[in-house]
Structure 1
Amino acid sequence: MRPAGRLTTVTCVILGITAATSRAALLTSPAQLSSSKKYDYIVVGAGPGGSPVASRLSEDPKVNVLLIEAGPSDQGVLDIQNPFLAGGLQGSPFDWNYTTTAQKGLNGHTVAYARGHVLGGSSSINLMVWTRGSRDDFNTYASVSGDSGWSWNSIQKYFLKAERFVPPTDGHDVTGQINLKIHGTNGPVNLTVANAVLPTDSHVIATTQELAEFPFNVDSNSGDPLGVGWILGAYGNGVRSSASSSYIDPFLSRKNLDVLVETTATKLVQTGTTKGLPAFRAVEVQQSSTSKNYTLHATKEIILSAGTINTPKILLLSGIGPASQLRSLGIKPLVDNSNVGQNLVDHPRLSNQFGVLNVSDDVTDTVLRNTTLFNELLGEWMNTNPHQGVFASSGANQIGWLRIPDSDPIWKTVKDPSSGPTSPHIEFLFSPGNVPNPGEVALPDTGNFFTISTVVVSPSSRGSVTLASKDPFVSPIIDPNFLNTTFDAYALNYAARASGRFVSAPNWKGFVTGQAGPFAEVDLTSDESINTWVREKTSTIWHPVGTARMGTCKDKKSVVGPDLRVKGVDGVRIVDASVLPNVPAAHPQAAVYVFSERAADLIKKGSCVC
């Protein structure tokens, strides 16, 4: 959530001197595939859903796996590798660069909707925050699916299997920043706490001792996330740990794992019937709207991991979805399921800026305004092993999770949308710099800032993904329906006020000067003023889930069953964030990784629940 333009300009200058990580060659065209090789599994999408499942399935040398990614390779891309530069990736060539429909709850504004268009998917362009979610989140998944294997206690072995804690590169003692006993040490995904001290660190932590409203939590990944504590990030040794670098790059030498990039899956192809159900064990792919069309076959399964936006798009293009909608676009319905593309749920975000007295306390803006300093810090990162300095961290060291109190009057009129008492309603992210909202100057010429980004993490609004055309290269219609319920709007209003209370703690005196930037015009005592601020400035933190939701075998409102097989068809399974029935009150990448880890086991065992 940092300015993209400034970072991209500098990065382009220095990419030429950045050494690319050694890596086996990737296939860049379907024409390079062997005509004699048969694939057991074809996985579409190389994000935190597809990459782990492809990697785990290919652990068996007798199983051939093809992983297809629409975007390019992430090899040697400095902005992806370097944690501090992550904010420049939204809106870059590694982003699908989608845009939502005009949002009624946001006074008609559209929202830029970043999704990863690169090997590693959104794990290659996100802000790397690793949060498991609450025990109530996963127990709800178990309840909704009727499968206890998705419960908090059952899923823990997969968190441990995925994680590898890496000590921070500055060598500091992590006591009080993480509970090492609950984390994995041998998994593929590197995780760490802050590699560099930020000026705001001591103030954020001190506030937890001064204001009872914001208690300290040593590790929000315990299943009980409520409170304020240190961020655990998906990077290690000063380098991003993506689905690509964790699950694909180390295993490209496997002869039974082929990775095809720059290739778009346009639709699934029916290959027959199984017990009266249409079977889909082939997928059509193209590299552009004018390029040759290829049909690739799998002997066992097609695994869709194209993400919350593109997985339903592929299903709809394949004739799997609401029959009337498909007919209106000239697509023959093969499986009538009105739930495909519905239940889109995402986390709305709002940045609230405060001024800081000293220039050096605004780390982000100070660095971005000073090319000499920028290059010095980048040089420090590049010339140290493991990488050190400010550029070895993501730029935000603490995170907070809060619930609206049970005594709040909102509960007299609305039902609590969270999954349970351990799940927060609101998230705080603390940044030593300006984090702009839509329509604001990304990098102001003057002023020094501390930003508290507020997020509704248990929203009740639901939206949809639908087709605009039967042309697979036309973007779908994305409507997250932000702030379309009383609760969601109220929660963000509550969060904006709470951010003001946070910096009222005594330790901020002499550090924070008060509300700043556009937020300076907001009267926190006025419902009207805050509501105007919320409706005009809210966007997203890019956590869409739910468009192919999981349910029990008999649940007619779901798209996949407990084993993630697509209902009404044979040969297709979905493994990505689209299957989550509700958005976790967390950054969802960790949940997607463990869903993929368990899905790989289910596939290996040949599990068929429904």
Structure 2
Amino acid sequence: MVPGIFPRGLILLSYITACWSKIYENVSDLPGNLTYDFVVVGGGTAGLVVANRLTENPNFSVLVLEAGVSNAGVLDSIIPFFVDNLLGPTMYEWNYTTVPQSGLNGRVLDYARAFMLGGCSSHNGMFYTRGSAEDFNRYAQITGDAGWSWDEILPYFLKNEKWSPPADHHDTSGEFDPKFHSTKGLTSVSLPGFAWPIFFDHVIQTTKELSDEFPFNLDMNSGFPLGLGWLQSTVGDGMRSSSATSYLASEFIERENLHVLIHAQVSQLVDVQNVTGEPSFDGVQFKQGTSEFTARAAKEIILSAGTVGTPSILMHSGIGDQATLNALGIPTVLHLPSVGQNIQDQAAVSTSWLVNTTQTLESITQNATRFNEAFEQWNQSHTGPFVEFAATHVAWLRLPSNSSIFENHTDPSAGPQTPHIELVFAPGVGLGPPGNASQHFMGAGVAVVSPASRGSITINSSNPFDPPVIDLGLLESDFDVFALREGIKSAYRFFGAPVWQDIIIGPRQDLENLTTDALDEFIRSTAGPPLHLVGSAAMSARDAPDGVVNPDLLVKGLARLRVVDASVLPIVPSAHTQAATYAVAERAADLMKELWM
């Protein structure tokens, strides 16, 4: 984004409507006595789905406690093109950092987690990618619950999704397969709504010239993602569609049985009971300003604080590894050593090529006049280049089965139809590239999406408001480095296709001719996380010795405490995690309704 043209967080008054009248900012404004049937901790991607679906029953009362701010009127969240402005440090983030990452040459990383209503769905890159059918069939195998299989979870993807026309209303024939989509859900999903003709034509032509490596895939969300296809994003009418804009739309937030309180940071679960033979918590302690309050749940407490927040709250509530808790003076309610363990994120690097066409993002990001024109177009009609983030196409690739890495490493992917590598293609290098204003680029992000590395999240203080200790463990497995190395080579082959020769001047960095050691050093010195963290409260079979939640997402050994967010996924799907999180939440809501109705 061109700096200094619009202030961060600019409010569009036309966007703020009465739908926010039931978002409470002060606990004193809440009606009643802070006693509800369900208390949802976290108003993020999953938490708002659960709150919406439970309050479809007028006999259920639900309180959502969100630590962050409202998303209403936050321009950087509303306009897809402005997403980079949300990255920290900002008021819209928790502003976490990791411990030094041994696989990344000891670098300490910023780790973006949303501090706003809608969670990461209000803050992310809006990619809507489900993963492979094999990913979900593996979840079913791990948990012993066929309800997590692809065939059983697909209806929940469809229940969430509202397939929408792209902002430019172009003919989308041949760009997706409608039989894998729904127009009846709540979260808008659409194809790119602004055309970069030269880039689009060249990308699709490459699938013909290099069809063995980059076959065209009509719809990567069919359960069979391998190949290259059009990116689908959570964008509707040229604006971001988040859990806050969809599941808290005006017809929902006005429900008398749904209360959403922002600026309410949960510290711990309190008031342990043991009525059914298993311990349970009756209360959720939270802080607003300098005051502490306790909300009570007659039926269930639902933790939807995210893969970082959920294990922290569990541990501060006495649920976790007993030795860790004892060392901090936290009384143990339940020894559950898997809390915070087994976390996974993917790892990614960027590559780019200098081009001789001006049909690139740089024509906007480095030209104040063009930027202002694009903003005015969006403000008037929700059309133009601001209706999408940088990326428009994605390729999902597998390493060849005879790759040398498999001589000493087990394939971490879910199966032969599941990718190891993601290539994200964009007509530019991002929304704020360095370099000469007259230069233009094409870019490819390279990620390992079936990683072998694991990390952990823990706490080192009894103060629940101290930040958790985040160790992503990125690139600690040689498999992940190998996959990124091969992904970079694939990106170079992609832009080396004959069709690109009329516009490619050359790579920004000559990675193709580096030695293996030098390329690995580039990877370890530049790679970062795409922020797809899972696994800190992983689900497992009911009789499994590990895991945090059972297949129904109830915490093992406890009653009336459920986890509903990306932390329950035991292995990261070979995709961006937003779509899977929505599906998990939709199924979780049905599981709760079945139990309590």
TM range (shorter): over 0.9
Map 1:268-347 onto structure 2 (within 5 A). Answer: 268-288=269-289, 291-347=290-346
Task: Tell me the secondary structure at the aligned position of residue 282 of structure 1.
Answer: strand
- The aligned amino acid for 1:152 is W
Task: Tell me the secondary structure at the aligned position of residue 383 of structure 1.
Answer: helix
Residues 148-177 of structure 1: per-residue CA shift (max 9 Å, x gap)? 011000111111111111111212110111
Q: Which runs of 5+ in 1 are unaligned?
A: none
Match of 1:594 among 583, 586, 596: 583
CA separation of 1:319 and 1:17: change in aligned 2, threshold 3 A: closer
Q: Hey, what does 1:29 align to over in structure 2?
A: 26
TM-fit CA distance, 1:17:
5.3
TM-fit CA distance, 1:496:
1.1
**1:396 paired to 2:391:** yes
Query: Which sits farther off after the overlay, 195-204 or 539-548?
Result: 195-204
Q: Does structure 2 conserve the Cα–Cα contact (< 8 Å) formed by 1:550 and 1:561?
A: yes
TM-fit CA distance, 1:388:
0.8
Match of 1:101 among 89, 99, 102: 99
C-alpha distance in structure 2 between counterparts of 1:422 and 1:51, whole Å? 32
The share of aligned pairs that are identical, in percent, is 41
Task: Tell me the secondary structure at the aligned position of residue 402 of structure 2.
Answer: coil
Q: Does structure 2 conserve the Cα–Cα contact (< 8 Å) formed by 1:563 and 1:607?
A: no
Task: Tell me the secondary structure at the aligned position of residue 105 of structure 1.
Answer: helix
Q: Hey, what does 1:449 align to over in structure 2?
A: 441
C-alpha distance in structure 2 between counterparts of 1:13 and 1:226, whole Å? 38
C-alpha distance in structure 2 between counterparts of 1:205 and 1:13, whole Å? 36
- The aligned amino acid for 1:483 is L
TM-fit CA distance, 1:314:
0.3
Q: Hey, what does 2:403 align to over in structure 1?
A: 408
Q: State the TM-score, normalized to the length of structure 2.
A: 0.96
TM-fit CA distance, 1:205:
1.2
**1:538 paired to 2:527:** yes
RMSD: 1.6
- The aligned amino acid for 2:470 is I
- The aligned amino acid for 1:62 is N
**1:11 paired to 2:1:** no
- The aligned amino acid for 1:443 is P
TM-fit CA distance, 1:264:
0.4
C-alpha distance in structure 1 between counterparts of 2:256 and 2:568, whole Å? 31
Q: Does structure 1 conserve the Cα–Cα contact (< 8 Å) formed by 2:492 and 2:512?
A: no
Q: Does structure 2 conserve the Cα–Cα contact (< 8 Å) formed by 1:523 and 1:529?
A: no
TM-fit CA distance, 1:206:
1.0
Task: Tell me the secondary structure at the aligned position of residue 138 of structure 2.
Answer: helix
Residues 277-332 of structure 1: per-residue CA shift (max 9 Å, x gap)? 221121000024xx111011010000000000000000001010001111111211
TM-fit CA distance, 1:395:
2.3
Task: Tell me the secondary structure at the aligned position of residue 455 of structure 1.
Answer: strand
C-alpha distance in structure 2 between counterparts of 1:366 and 1:226, whole Å? 32
Q: Does structure 2 conserve the Cα–Cα contact (< 8 Å) formed by 1:145 and 1:561?
A: yes
Q: Hey, what does 2:370 align to over in structure 1?
A: 373
**1:133 paired to 2:128:** no
C-alpha distance in structure 2 between counterparts of 1:424 and 1:187, whole Å? 27
C-alpha distance in structure 2 between counterparts of 1:254 and 1:458, whole Å? 41
Match of 1:427 among 412, 422, 442: 422
C-alpha distance in structure 2 between counterparts of 1:330 and 1:592, whole Å? 34
C-alpha distance in structure 1 between counterparts of 2:407 and 2:554, whole Å? 40
Q: State the TM-score, normalized to the length of structure 1.
A: 0.94
Q: Hey, what does 2:546 align to over in structure 1?
A: 557
- The aligned amino acid for 2:369 is T
Task: Tell me the secondary structure at the aligned position of residue 490 of structure 1.
Answer: helix
Q: Hey, what does 2:171 align to over in structure 1?
A: 173
Q: Does structure 2 conserve the Cα–Cα contact (< 8 Å) formed by 1:345 and 1:461?
A: yes
C-alpha distance in structure 2 between counterparts of 1:127 and 1:471, whole Å? 32
- The aligned amino acid for 1:397 is T
C-alpha distance in structure 1 between counterparts of 2:426 and 2:515, whole Å? 26
C-alpha distance in structure 2 between counterparts of 1:361 and 1:404, whole Å? 32
C-alpha distance in structure 2 between counterparts of 1:551 and 1:569, whole Å? 15
TM-fit CA distance, 1:16:
4.8
C-alpha distance in structure 2 between counterparts of 1:18 and 1:391, whole Å? 18
CA separation of 1:37 and 1:18: change in aligned 2, threshold 3 A: closer
Q: Does structure 1 conserve the Cα–Cα contact (< 8 Å) formed by 2:49 and 2:586?
A: yes
TM-fit CA distance, 1:528:
1.7
Moved over 6 A (4+): none
Q: Does structure 1 conserve the Cα–Cα contact (< 8 Å) formed by 2:457 and 2:536?
A: yes
Q: Hey, what does 2:260 align to over in structure 1?
A: 259
**1:458 paired to 2:450:** yes
CA separation of 1:271 and 1:79: change in aligned 2, threshold 3 A: same
Q: Does structure 1 conserve the Cα–Cα contact (< 8 Å) formed by 2:34 and 2:296?
A: no
Q: Hey, what does 1:78 align to over in structure 2?
A: 75
Residues 62-110 of structure 1: per-residue CA shift (max 9 Å, x gap)? 1100011111000111111111111221113211111111111111111
CA separation of 1:21 and 1:413: change in aligned 2, threshold 3 A: same
Q: Which runs of 5+ in 2 are unaligned?
A: none
C-alpha distance in structure 2 between counterparts of 1:207 and 1:607, whole Å? 53
Task: Tell me the secondary structure at the aligned position of residue 342 of structure 2.
Answer: strand
Residues 368-401 of structure 1: per-residue CA shift (max 9 Å, x gap)? 22222111101101101xx111111222110110
TM-fit CA distance, 1:32:
2.1
TM-fit CA distance, 1:442:
4.4
C-alpha distance in structure 2 between counterparts of 1:381 and 1:127, whole Å? 18
Q: Does structure 2 conserve the Cα–Cα contact (< 8 Å) formed by 1:353 and 1:435?
A: no
TM-fit CA distance, 1:227:
0.4
Match of 1:151 among 121, 127, 149: 149
C-alpha distance in structure 2 between counterparts of 1:390 and 1:179, whole Å? 25
Query: Which sits farther off after the overlay, 261-270 or 197-206?
Result: 197-206
Q: Does structure 2 conserve the Cα–Cα contact (< 8 Å) formed by 1:304 and 1:311?
A: yes
TM-fit CA distance, 1:582:
0.4
Residues 338-371 of structure 1: per-residue CA shift (max 9 Å, x gap)? 100001100101001211112x1322x2212222
TM-fit CA distance, 1:18:
4.5
Residues 264-287 of structure 1: per-residue CA shift (max 9 Å, x gap)? 011011331133322112100002
C-alpha distance in structure 2 between counterparts of 1:146 and 1:322, whole Å? 25
C-alpha distance in structure 2 between counterparts of 1:132 and 1:16, whole Å? 32
TM-fit CA distance, 1:468:
2.6
Task: Tell me the secondary structure at the aligned position of residue 417 of structure 1.
Answer: coil
Match of 1:50 among 24, 42, 47: 47
C-alpha distance in structure 2 between counterparts of 1:165 and 1:157, whole Å? 14
Q: Does structure 2 conserve the Cα–Cα contact (< 8 Å) formed by 1:94 and 1:118?
A: yes
- The aligned amino acid for 2:158 is L
C-alpha distance in structure 2 between counterparts of 1:220 and 1:204, whole Å? 16
TM-fit CA distance, 1:435:
3.9
Map 1:213-252 onto structure 2 (within 5 A). Answer: 213-250=213-250, 251-252=252-253
- The aligned amino acid for 1:45 is G
C-alpha distance in structure 2 between counterparts of 1:147 and 1:348, whole Å? 30
C-alpha distance in structure 2 between counterparts of 1:371 and 1:55, whole Å? 42
Task: Tell me the secondary structure at the aligned position of residue 344 of structure 1.
Answer: coil
CA separation of 1:169 and 1:292: change in aligned 2, threshold 3 A: same
C-alpha distance in structure 2 between counterparts of 1:454 and 1:37, whole Å? 47
TM-fit CA distance, 1:193:
0.2
Q: Does structure 2 conserve the Cα–Cα contact (< 8 Å) formed by 1:105 and 1:481?
A: yes
Task: Tell me the secondary structure at the aligned position of residue 49 of structure 1.
Answer: helix
Residues 98-141 of structure 1: per-residue CA shift (max 9 Å, x gap)? 11111111111112111111000000010101011100000011
Task: Tell me the secondary structure at the aligned position of residue 50 of structure 2.
Answer: helix
C-alpha distance in structure 2 between counterparts of 1:13 and 1:146, whole Å? 47
Q: Hey, what does 1:514 align to over in structure 2?
A: 506
Number of aligned positions between the proteins? 590
